[in-house]
Every structure is written in structure tokens, then in C-alpha cells.
Amino acid sequence: MSDRVSVRSLKAEIANLNNSQLEQLFNYIGEMLTVSSFRANLNKDFRESRFSKGEVCPHCQSTYVVKNGNLNGKQRYLCRDCKKSFNDLTKSALSCTKLPIDAWLTYAQGMILGLSIRENAEKIGVCVKTSFYMRHKILDCIRVFMGTGFVDGVVEMDECFIPESYKGNHKKSGFVMPRPSRKRGKQVKKRGISNEQICIVTAIDRNNNIILEPICKGRVTSDALEALYKEHVDSECIICTDSHKSYIQFAKDLELDHKRIMRGRYKNGIYHINHVNSLHSNLKVWMYRFKGVATKFLSNYMAWYKWLQSFNDEKELIRTKNMLIHSVVPFVDTRICSYHGREAVFI
């Protein structure tokens, strides 16, 4: 009887709402139903996305796999080749976790919204250290899922620089600082482009496909450009760059059509580097919220930004679900012990 009364009273309240309030209520109810549906089908989505071509052993990539019972409601498998057992989440961001799926969904949503590690920790009720590991377990997998990328057609290329950072390293861990520390986040001591800055090489085509990779310290060379782009740029593409000399030799080596935008000019007909310059501006604004990023994790943040740009047109709930699914698809060792001695990842 009480349920009927409450429903009746709700209907009466709804009848008094204006169109704007009704739209807000409709969207809220839609989100609640969508989240409920996501949670109910998430494990199935994990399995279908990860094993879309059949079960594969995450340890040796063998397809000679058989089912091996259930543990805690999760299907386990046995690899007949390496004799190791695994489940749907082995070697993923969610492997070896004691947190429920709901907590990971909430955390992924916080990452999309740009919450800090501390804010996300408070949101799901874990410590800051756990929140840090959760972020990088997800990002390690997202980096592998996104890969380097591929660009074609008219491709704009450029580079930007971020100060090298040893954030998070402490003397008690045995770490030895290779240079005098920069107090209170001051700028690098060497003027101009030096080996105290990390070069982020960027390419973007007119279809908004992006390559965004930390490549080296200091100035980029034609050899480094070739090592990165050789398998990731279409041989028939037209590259647009500034007047940097390394791109001249790089274009010659790969026999690419090269349009240089000379200093003081903004475009050459339809060819320009406005999109890549805009990408760099937006990247620096996005990076500012982190108050400095350790160089050893810089490639993770570049993959994070690239993922956000690639799925920018989707609704927040869809992006939240996809971030979690994409952190399960690749086989990645996300054990916490691997983070302590990690070194910077350069292509």
C-alpha cells in the first residue's frame, strides 16, 4: 500500500514540473537505467571483447585452452600448452583486485571527468596510494590498447617539450638524483631545448587520427622520427611541418611529399600546422592539472589524452564503460611491484 501511495505522490509531483525539469528528470532516469544495464552485462562484455576470436592464454597466447571450473563466480581456464590457469581478467587492469566492479566503474568515470588521484580516492573510499595504482593499471592497458596509431592523407607533424621529472622517487628507495633538484617546480636551468626536456612528437591527420609519443630527451633527430613513423604513416601521405631540419631528412628517407610552413607564415594554400599547434595547446592545458608528471609515466598520460580525444563524441556513461572494457582487452602485466623500478618508455 505504501508503495502505491509513494508512486501516486511521485506522479503528482511530476505533473507539476515544467518542461525543463521534466527533461532533467528524464535524463537522470535514463542514466540510472543505463548504469544498471552496464553493471549487469559488464562481465559478459569483458569476455566478448577480450576473447572475440576465441579463448587465448594471456601467458603464452596459445589457443589450446579448456574450461577449468569456477572460482568466486568467475570462469577459470587451463592452458594445455603452458599448464597455467587464468580467468577472464588475468593480466588486465582488473586482475588481482579486491575491489568490486562498481568501484572501478566509478573510478573510470572520475578519470574521464579529470578528478585528481586524491579526489578519486575519496570518491570510492580507498587510500591515495591505491588510487595511484588504480590509475596506472588502467593507463598501462589503455596505452597498449591505443598503440602508436596510424595517420594518412594530409598529416601535420610537430613536437612539444615537457620538463623531465623524477616525481615520486625518494632517497629511501635507493634512488640517486642525476641532477640538482628543481625546488618548488621551477623551470629547467638550461636555456632553450636541452636534455632536461622530454620531446613529445605529434602527428594528426584531417580525420583526427593522432600519434602522440615521448620519443627522446632534447632535440628530435631524423633517425628518431623514422623509427617512430616508419610503420605508422601512409607512404602516400603529405606531411606538413615547420622549418625544423630533421623533418627534411626524414621526408627524404621515407620519400614523402613534404610541405614546409616557413617561420612567420601560417599556411601554404590548404597546408598548415594549425591543428597540431591547437592539439599542443589543449594538451598543455590538460596536463597542468597534474602539477607535474613523472617522466617514467609520461607515455601513460599521452595515451590517456589520446584516448579522450578519440572517444570525445561519446556520452560520459558510454566512455566510462569503454574505458573499463579497453583496460581489459590487452594482456598487460599490471602487478604493483613493476611500478617501483620503472623507467621512462620512449619509442
Question: Between these two residues, 344 and 302, which has the higher pLDDT value?
Answer: 302
Do 74 and 167 belong together in one domain? no
Do 243 and 157 belong together in one domain? yes
Tell me the pLDDT tens digit for each residue of 236-280. Answer: 999 999 988 999 999 999 999 999 988 766 677 889 999 999 999
DSSP classification of residue 114: T
Question: In this structure, is residue 264 part of a structural domain?
Answer: yes
Do 15 and 51 belong together in one domain? no
User: pLDDT value at position 73?
Assistant: 79
User: pLDDT value at position 184?
Assistant: 60
Between CA 285 and CA 239 the distance in angstroms is 26
Query: What are residue 200's DSSP bridge partners?
Result: 160, 214
Average pLDDT rounded to a whole number, residues 148-174: 86
Percent of the chain whose predicted confidence (pLDDT) is above 90:
56
Tell me the pLDDT tens digit for each residue of 55-80. Answer: 999 999 999 999 999 888 788 999 99
Q: Which domain holds residue 60?
A: 40-88
User: pLDDT value at position 146?
Assistant: 96
User: pLDDT value at position 1?
Assistant: 42
User: pLDDT value at position 292?
Assistant: 86
Between CA 123 and CA 105 the distance in angstroms is 11
Tell me the pLDDT tens digit for each residue of 287-301. Answer: 999 988 989 999 999
Q: With 0-12 CB in 10 A as exposed, 13-18 as middle and 19+ as buried, what is 122?
A: middle
pLDDT at 40 > cutoff 70: no
Among 36-45, 100-109, 132-141, 301-310, the minimum mean pLDDT is found in 36-45
Do 266 and 301 belong together in one domain? yes
Percent of the chain whose predicted confidence (pLDDT) is above 70:
90
Question: In this structure, is residue 283 part of a structural domain?
Answer: yes
Question: In this structure, is residue 133 part of a structural domain?
Answer: no
Do 78 and 18 belong together in one domain? no
Residue 144 CB neighbour total at 10 angstroms: 15
Between CA 300 and CA 164 the distance in angstroms is 15
User: pLDDT value at position 27?
Assistant: 73
pLDDT category at 186 given cuts 50, 70, 90 is: low
Question: In this structure, is residue 318 part of a structural domain?
Answer: no
Cβ atoms of residues 249 and 223 within 8 Å: no
pLDDT at 229 > cutoff 70: yes
pLDDT at 14 > cutoff 70: yes
User: pLDDT value at position 200?
Assistant: 95
Between CA 250 and CA 93 the distance in angstroms is 37
Question: Between these two residues, 39 and 286, which has the higher pLDDT value?
Answer: 286
Average pLDDT rounded to a whole number, residues 129-135: 95
pLDDT at 221 > cutoff 50: yes
pTM (predicted TM-score): 0.85
Do 165 and 304 belong together in one domain? yes
Do 157 and 266 belong together in one domain? yes
Question: In this structure, is residue 23 part of a structural domain?
Answer: yes
Question: In this structure, is residue 243 part of a structural domain?
Answer: yes
User: What angle, 0 to 180 degrees and rounded to 10, lies between the N-to-C axes of helices 19-50 and 316-326?
Assistant: 10
Do 218 and 289 belong together in one domain? yes
Between CA 127 and CA 203 the distance in angstroms is 38
Distant-in-sequence, close-in-space partners of 200: CB < 8 Å, separation ≥ 6: 159, 160, 161, 162, 212, 213, 214, 215, 283, 298, 302
User: pLDDT value at position 122?
Assistant: 95
Distant-in-sequence, close-in-space partners of 207: CB < 8 Å, separation ≥ 6: 152, 153
pLDDT category at 314 given cuts 50, 70, 90 is: confident
> Total domain count for the chain?
3
Give backbone dihedrals phi and psi of 284, rounded to 5 degrees, phi first.
-65, -35
Question: Which parts of 83-193 are beta strand (E)?
Answer: 85-87, 154-163
Do 214 and 300 belong together in one domain? yes
Residue 271 CB neighbour total at 10 angstroms: 17
Average pLDDT rounded to a whole number, residues 229-241: 94
Do 66 and 204 belong together in one domain? no
Query: The cell 528528470 sits on which residue?
Result: 25
Query: The cell 580467468 sits on which residue?
Result: 87
Quick one: which of 208, 233, 229 has its CA closest to 310? 208
Quick one: which of 106, 128, 126, 125 has its CA closest to 117? 128
Average pLDDT rounded to a whole number, residues 168-187: 70
Give backbone dihedrals phi and psi of 219, rounded to 5 degrees, phi first.
-65, 140
Do 164 and 257 belong together in one domain? yes
